[in-house]
Amino acid sequence: MKVKIIAAILFSTLFTFSCTDLSEDLYDKVADDNFGNTPNEIDALVGGAYSSLRGFSDAISNAYPTCEYVFFLNEVASDEATIPTRGTDWYDGGRYQDVQRHQWKADNGMILSAWRYCYAGISKVNSIIYQVDKSGLTPEAKAPIYAELKAIRAYYYYQLLDMFGNVPIVTNFEDQSLPSNSTRRQVYDFVESELLAALPHLKSNIVYSKMTQNVAYSLLARLYINSEAFIGTPRWQDCIDMCQNVQGHTLTADYFANFATQNQTSNEIIFSIPYDSKAGTLGNYMSSMSAHYLHRFTISPTGDYPWSGNGMSAQPGVYSSFAENDKRRKGMLIGDQINLGTGSVIIMDSGEPLTYTEDIVNFTDAKQNEGVRLAKYEMKAGESWERDHDFVLIRYSEILMMQAECYVRLGSPTLATPFLQQITARAGTEMPATIDLDFINKESLREFTFEGTRRTTNIRFGTFFQPWWEKGSTPAYRGIYPIPATVLATNSNLHQNPQY
Amino acid sequence: MNSKHTNTHPESSRSTTFIMFLIFLLFLTAGMYAQQKKLVTGTIYDNTSIALPGVTILEVGTQKATTTDADGKFTFEATVGGTLQISFIGYTTQNVKVDANTKNIDVKLVESAFMLDAVELVSVGYGTMRKSDLTGAISTVKGDDLVKGVISSTEQALQGKVAGLTVLQSSGDPSSGSTLRLRGGTSLTASNSPLIVVDGIAGVDINVVQASDIKSVDVLKDASATAIYGSRGANGVIIITTKGGSKATTITYNGYTGVSEASNQLDMLSADQWRGYVRANNLTDAIDYGGNTDWQKELYRKAYTQSHTLSISTGGEQSGIRTSLSYLKNEGVVKTTQLERLSANVSGYQYALDKALKFDTGIFANIDKWHPLDYRIFERSFNLNPTIPVRNTNGSFTEVGGTLNENPVEILTDRDTQNERHRILGYFKTEAKLYKDLQAVVNLSLEHNATQGNTYKPSFAVLEGRTENGYAQKTYGEYTNAQVEAYLNYNKTFGRHNLSLLAGYSYLENIYKGFGAQRSGFETDLFGYNNLGAGYNYRLGDVYSYKGKSNLVSFFGRANYSFDSKYMLTGTLRRDGSSRFGANNKWGLFPSASAAWKITGEEFMKPTENWLTNLKLRVGYGVTGNQDGIGEYKSLSILGVGQDSYYDPSTGTWSLAYSPTQNPNPDLKWESTRQTNIGLDFSLFNRVTGSIEWYDKQTKDLLYTYQVPQPPYLVGTMLANVGDLSNKGLEVTLNADIIRGDKFTWDVNVTFAKNKQKITKLSNQSYKTETIQSGSLHGLSGMSNTFSQIIGEGYAVGTFWGREYQGLNEKGEFILSEDEKEIGNAQPDFTAGLGMNFAYKNFDLGFTGYGIFGQDVLNATAMMLNDPNRMPSYNIQDDFVGSPIKSAPTYSSYWIEDASFFRLQTATIGYTIPFKESKAKLRVFVLGQNLFVITGYNGVDPEINNTANASDTPGFSDRLSPGIDRFNNYPRPRTISLGLNFTLGN
């Protein structure tokens, strides 16, 4: 009987001490309220705002620079690039074809991806601001951090202003209410005021890849040069003023130094997204995404080069718009591709030689070798899947070009000459007898081919709405993209951009 | 392990018999005749020579009766010339004549299959019940009835055995697992696999137990049965009871050796056909390499399998023990693939203090070793030109360059991959009789599961190896489940009333952790994966480790009441708290109630009792949950580190950023399923037993990573409880003894199940979702943005959505409907299982088969292969020669096929060699597996389960994208085994 009593006692003790604690212990993660108390921790948080620029990877968006599709969307809609469908390859539900023809719809995955890229960055910045708010730093110490974060956020809003126009402005991480659209004008004003407010607190010297005063000035210059397109008010002189504030940058002697594997040494780059193979950043595949699958044999005799995708090509006419002596033309590949192993032309699976052609007979059913390829970013043997090239967002060359354009627009083309001379001298090309907008437009294409800005330039010059290659006239409302269908479906406070 | 239960219940039946005996005695005194009497003694045994207590001994024509005592003995004053009727519930009644010489009567009773319900004990979670007293829907499979033959995952042993339980093996790869699904899936996010309970330990990996160690499997299907497992019961519960120590000593050896071949392959052009095609079509670009290779055949082999299991069980009144050891080496039909498993099990029981205490303990352990397969070989085997020889004349592998054209034999050969998994489960259970009818149980258990991965791709390997200049990787992951369960059982019979009560507490702690490392750039390939430090190239993400923890705390209770064994009521209640749930929903309550009525127990059923031997109606309702879809820490606002690095220009180095990773959701909780079940059990003519179940399962608060508006949310998706889903169905189980002769027997068992699923809601106030695209075809050329299925309100998971094929135009291009519409469904209309056993003298013959009917499969393999642009870059199928199709691969209803099939799973013929004078038994058998499949499906195999080759596809979840054959080409093996069973008893 004693034993039974002991058993009963033991059993009831078990019940009495029975654990009901359901709190979660973290081991390899940190709760957000436990972090952000030391300067080092603040640095680690702010670093996240920069890493967000690389984009993210999910079911619809790949972790290519700026989520791949932000780049694709703006390139394929412009007059310089195309993603031809080759057999079944790169058909992908017709999303590139629709953009090529300016017939995109609100459910195009690239449009959603572009939206998410910007708002993921904005939300992240908002959350970091929230962390900094809670931290014990002094207001004086917080001010430059806020300035840096808000200027990065303004960069994202600038992208939204350019692509979508009437987007919601969200700045408070804790506010979970469903936002409604702001007008394009309001977004414009927001970007301008945030950048201007941040300027005094930003670093005035060159700090590679960071949000400095030079970057903020450059962004304001971009905002003002497109002011007429964005809100109908031209601000050419304001653009020139901002450009003149940019200090300390010069053109590199070699144009391609800006796109080399180790391009972080370039003094021309004002703002970029750093990539590094050792840091595990999934990176800048721009060139190999474009090259033919077998292109690797032109890089390594044994074909040891990670993946190429036979994707984006130049629209016919782009290559031939370069003068023969234009050094920048080497940024594109054309003609026979030689197998370093055999010394003869690479033979494709079809048995035909790999010879890139400028012409693309039918971009919805193109041959594997059709189209001139992007080779601006260096491809070299020994590269790993993660690349080292930093993705260039703003170069000093653009500051020069913007000033030249504004002077032409203000009716003083002679004032544009010194800026353009720097650009053409480096390219090894001749200056034209007369500088006009048409020249500026064409020179922009040549100087900034495949740098993700061509769509905006086309819109500013109005050519975007005129027929070209594989599209007819484009109605004015397509100057901005529709709000993505998924976003509209989940937020009833949002309304679609007009006419979509 | 269940000896405790087998003891308690005969006890209660003994007391009722005792009351009956008293009544008999009353009658006895009333009508006594003066005849010659004789004192007879005896012992009654069951067919395994175990003494049976409580057996009724009745003198025919009188009211005189007695029952056997605890040792099965009885003493009886019998009339000379009379007949004693010896009867016991669950056994065939026997009559014994008493003559002048009769002194001792020893009788062995034979179990009666059709009275088993009354004694057969069914595990119901934290206890057992007599089958006749059940109120819920529970199917039982005996260990002997499990699927035989080469079984590399324990789930396969249940294939086709339980109505409503679908077992899908991922592929013919012996290392690939199987998926279990009971009564349709209830979740879009969580595992839809039933909860596995092994010897009372809930939530364990089913493969910790080998099929040969299983005594019985009870499948709890409806909510009234599974609600005792609360937030883990929504997908049903499978309770496995293992073999334990026995009162007799038995030594068993089971072994077989088998040979397997690929059961099917695609017909691609042979080298000669290819040459003919090239000539006929004047393909000038085609290159003839002069070889003659069947690339699929080059991947396959004749595979050998051997298995040996040795077990010993022994024991007595006070204790018993069983040990078993088994070894399996199962080669896959694709070269290099194999599973090698060594497993051991020891279990035993010990009584103490005059049976007031009982200890049960058991330990299961096994080690699996296998070579993972690179599934990219299959697509290449279809692509490669058949004139390319496998090797060059100098013995090196032929590589012709090109894309998706790497030599698949090289991929198979030039890799070194070896994975290893260790599983261990141990428990110690103490039962104490506290007071008469009150019993306390404490069960402590530990489950540990650790997996190691090793990979080396040498610097000469074509895919990755060369570009990485050698690549080595090691990974390690493990989890531990520690569990304490304590409960009280109270069981009381008074008069015709029986009451049993259960109350308990359970605490489960899960800890998982792991690490991994990889390096590339090796100067030599000599080290393989054994010296990672020798790789000079490394990246930030190359080293990682992780750890996490969760716990689940539960209180539970159950009450059973039955009156006169005719009316039964059960109620259960469970309260579960989980650390994974959001702060606002930490605790959930899961109630259930059910009732049963044994109609044949009623007076008015007397006229039909000759043929309708049992008829029982059951009705139940309950609420259960599924918390599997919530990973750890999903409700919290946390910062992750490791994925995000940023450049620090001041030092030129990179640092790690700390970033929020998810939208916090403090409302996160379990999915809850309300299920109504109506069941009918019957038996006819003592030959046919069966049951029919109808159920209606309504799941709400479906977990899914819903699209949320961004802004204001941090990321565009969020795990939340939003939608509703319904499953309704019907299940029929039939067992029949068609012929029951002395020399010849024939029995048949049939299962049939039908389930209809529908998503009823995907939106609520906060979350708006019209449809979710699923069935991504990403990874197939040009299909990056193509989704073949939708998840939408009014549809089932696996609904194919696309354009309808309407014919070919004169150019051979597809004419497709303008609109996209529902063009098929991957969920079957019904599933069926069939088993038959014949025995003639010492011969036995049996077969089992199963079928799945009415499901559609997208034959994406055919869609990609039927491409007019393939030649000469890639090879084509025989069928495609002369095909009118001239369109490039396009997703449409054209590629959706009815994949109904019936598979003959096993066929066995055995002969038992009788050893007259000893208890030894030797049976030899030949067993065929997967001998044929009847199907109209054109692919390699109509049974599709994508887990193996689609896991690396972004946005592709197998659970949400069933029925897509995308190079589903690891063929299931066809196997012939020769084996023997040897048993030595005493």
Residue B949: is its pLDDT beyond 60? Answer: no
Q: Mind listing the pLDDT tens digit for each residue in B784-816?
A: 778 899 988 999 988 999 999 999 999 889 999
Average pLDDT over residues B754-775: 85
Residue B90: is its pLDDT beyond 80? Answer: no
Cβ-nearest to B639 among A29, A59, A350: A29
Kindly determine whether residue B714 and residue A127, on different chains, have CB atoms separated by under 8 Å.
yes
Domain ranges of chain A: 34-202, 204-276+389-464, 285-386
Which of helix, strand or coil describes residue B822? strand
pLDDT of residue A239: 97
Q: Strand pairing of B178-182 and B165-169?
A: antiparallel
Q: Which of residues 21-50 of A touch B (CB under 8 A)?
A: 21-33, 35, 41, 43-45, 47-48, 50
Residue B557: is its pLDDT beyond 50? Answer: yes
Q: State the Cα–Cα distance between residues B522 and B527, nearest whole angstrom.
A: 9
pLDDT of residue B240: 93
pLDDT of residue B496: 87
B229: pLDDT confidence band, cut at 50, 70 and 90? very high
Radius of gyration of chain A (CA): 26
Task: Using a CB–CB cutoff of 8 Å, tell me whether A309 touches chain B.
Answer: no
Average pLDDT over residues B953-971: 69
> Distances from the Cα of A56 to the Cαs of A59, A114, B707, B719, in angstroms?
10, 11, 16, 18
Residue A52: is its pLDDT beyond 80? Answer: yes
Q: Mind listing the pLDDT tens digit for each residue in B101-119?
A: 877 888 887 766 444 555 6
CA distance B449 to chain A (A): 20
Quick check: B703 and B189 in contact, CB under 8 A? yes
Q: State the Cα–Cα distance between residues B851 and B937, nearest whole angstrom.
A: 13
A28: pLDDT confidence band, cut at 50, 70 and 90? confident
Quick check: B938 and B897 in contact, CB under 8 A? yes
Best CATH choice for the domain A204-276+389-464 from the list 2.60.220.10, 1.10.274.10, 2.40.30.10, 1.25.40.390: 1.25.40.390
Radius of gyration of chain B (CA): 32
Task: Using a CB–CB cutoff of 8 Å, tell me whether B102 touches chain A.
Answer: no
Q: What's the CATH code of the domain at B65?
A: 2.60.40.1120
Q: Token match 């004192």: residue? A: B39
Residue B916: is its pLDDT beyond 80? Answer: no
pTM for the complete prediction?
Answer: 0.82
Residue B939 lies in a domain: no
Q: Which of residues 943-962 of B touch A (CB under 8 A)?
A: 954-955
Residue of chain B minimizing CA distance to A262: B652
B767: pLDDT confidence band, cut at 50, 70 and 90? confident
Task: Using a CB–CB cutoff of 8 Å, tell me whether A174 touches chain B.
Answer: no
Q: Mind listing the pLDDT tens digit for each residue in A266-283?
A: 999 999 999 988 887 877
Helices A437-447 + A396-409 axis angle, to 10: 170
Q: State the Cα–Cα distance between residues B92 and B87, nearest whole angstrom.
A: 7
Q: Mind listing the pLDDT tens digit for each residue in B509-555?
A: 999 999 999 999 899 999 999 999 999 888 877 889 999 999 999 99
Residue B296 lies in a domain: no
For residue B66, what are the domain limits? 3-111
Strand partners, B845: B838, B909
Cβ-nearest to A44 among B658, B707, B780: B658
Q: Which residues of chain B neighbour A60 with C-beta distances below 8 Å?
A: 955
Q: In this structure, which topology does domain A34-202 adopt according to CATH?
A: 1.25.40
Task: Using a CB–CB cutoff of 8 Å, tell me whether A179 touches chain B.
Answer: yes
Q: Which two tokens stand for residue A4?
A: 């039974």
Element (H, E) at B20: helix B3-30
DSSP string, B699-768: EEEEEEEEE--TTTSSSSEEEEEEEEEEEEEEEEEEEEEEEE-SSEEEEEEEEEEEEEEEEEE---SS--
Domain count, chain B: 1
Task: Using a CB–CB cutoff of 8 Å, tell me whether B50 touches chain A.
Answer: no
B686: pLDDT confidence band, cut at 50, 70 and 90? confident
Q: Mind listing the pLDDT tens digit for each residue in B279-332?
A: 998 888 788 999 999 999 999 999 999 999 999 999 888 899 999 999 999 999
Cβ-nearest to A280 among B353, B356, B645: B645
Residue of chain A minimizing CA distance to B399: A302
Q: Mind listing the pLDDT tens digit for each residue in A311-361?
A: 999 999 999 999 999 999 999 999 999 999 889 999 887 788 999 999 999
pLDDT of residue B958: 57
| Contacting residues for B215 by C-beta, under 8 A, at least 6 apart | B2, B142, B143, B241, B242, B243, B244
Cβ-nearest to A27 among B547, B710, B874: B547
Residue of chain A minimizing CA distance to B784: A92
Kindly determine whether residue A47 and residue B546, on different chains, have CB atoms separated by under 8 Å.
no
Kindly determine whether residue A7 and residue B784, on different chains, have CB atoms separated by under 8 Å.
no
pLDDT of residue A101: 96
Kindly determine whether residue A116 and residue B710, on different chains, have CB atoms separated by under 8 Å.
yes
CA B793 to centroid of chain Cα atoms:
29
pLDDT of residue B180: 85
Kindly determine whether residue B638 and residue A59, on different chains, have CB atoms separated by under 8 Å.
no
pLDDT of residue A12: 64
pLDDT of residue B4: 37
CA distance B641 to chain A (A): 7
Strand partners, B840: B744, B843
Q: State the Cα–Cα distance between residues A192 and A153, nearest whole angstrom.
A: 12
Average pLDDT over residues B884-906: 92
| Contacting residues for B276 by C-beta, under 8 A, at least 6 apart | none
pLDDT of residue A464: 97
Residue A394: is its pLDDT beyond 90? Answer: yes
Q: Strand pairing of B104-108 and B37-45?
A: parallel
Residue B10 lies in a domain: yes
Q: Which residues of chain B neighbour A385 with C-beta distances below 8 Å?
A: 467
Cβ-nearest to B712 among A41, A178, A274: A178
Name the maximum alpha-carbon separation found in chain A.
115
Element (H, E) at B914: strand B901-914
Q: State the Cα–Cα distance between residues B672 and B627, nearest whole angstrom.
A: 9
Task: Using a CB–CB cutoff of 8 Å, tell me whether B534 touches chain A.
Answer: no
Task: Using a CB–CB cutoff of 8 Å, tell me whether A262 touches chain B.
Answer: no
Residue B21: is its pLDDT beyond 50? Answer: no
- Half-sphere exposure for B532 (CA within 13 Å, toward CB): 14
pLDDT of residue A16: 57
